[in-house]
């Protein structure tokens, strides 16, 4: 992962964009008066999005299972399990 400041990005915009799109490289851009950002190709983003959705779905299923497991237990019983 490469990091540049805003001025370096502007000075070498084509080279930076080519590296991002051709090499699936991530680029961190440090902004002078704002939060840093990460640039990636659309293909890279699209490949990560389904994985993130799958992880989110799995987490929701775990939360539901835990809620079912805890249902009907008193606070004392829950604390004793810690």
Query: How many Å apart are CA 3 and CA 34, to the nearest integer?
Result: 15
Number of domains forming the structure of the chain: 2
Average pLDDT on 51-72 reads: 78
Q: Using a pLDDT cut of 90, give the percent of the chain over it.
A: 46
Residue 38's H or E segment, with its range, is: strand 37-39
Residue keyed to tokens 């640039």: 39
Query: For residue 20, what are its two tokens?
Result: 């991002």
Same domain, 35 and 52: no
For the stretch 37-54, pLDDT in tens is 999 999 998 888 887 778
Q: Tens digit of pLDDT for each residue in 68-79?
A: 777 777 767 767
The verdict on 36 and 65 lying in the same domain is no
d(C-alpha 2, C-alpha 40), whole Å: 11
Per-residue pLDDT for 27 more than 90?
A: yes
d(CA 62, CA 78): 17
What is the domain range of residue 56? 43-80
Residues 50 and 64 in one domain: yes
| 8 and 24 together in one domain | yes
Asked if 39 and 6 count as a contact pair (C-beta separation under 8 A), the reply is no
Question: What's the pLDDT score for residue 70?
Answer: 73
């Amino acid at each position: 992962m490469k990091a540049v400041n805003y001025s370096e990005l502007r000075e070498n915009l084509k080279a930076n964009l080519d590296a991002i799109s051709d090499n699936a490289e991530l680029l961190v851009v440090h902004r002078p008066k704002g939060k840093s950002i990460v640039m990636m190709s659309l293909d890279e983003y699209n490949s990560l999005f389904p994985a993130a959705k799958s992880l989110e779905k799995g987490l929701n299923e775990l939360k539901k299972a835990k809620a079912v497991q805890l249902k009907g237990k008193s606070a004392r019983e829950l604390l004793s399990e810690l």
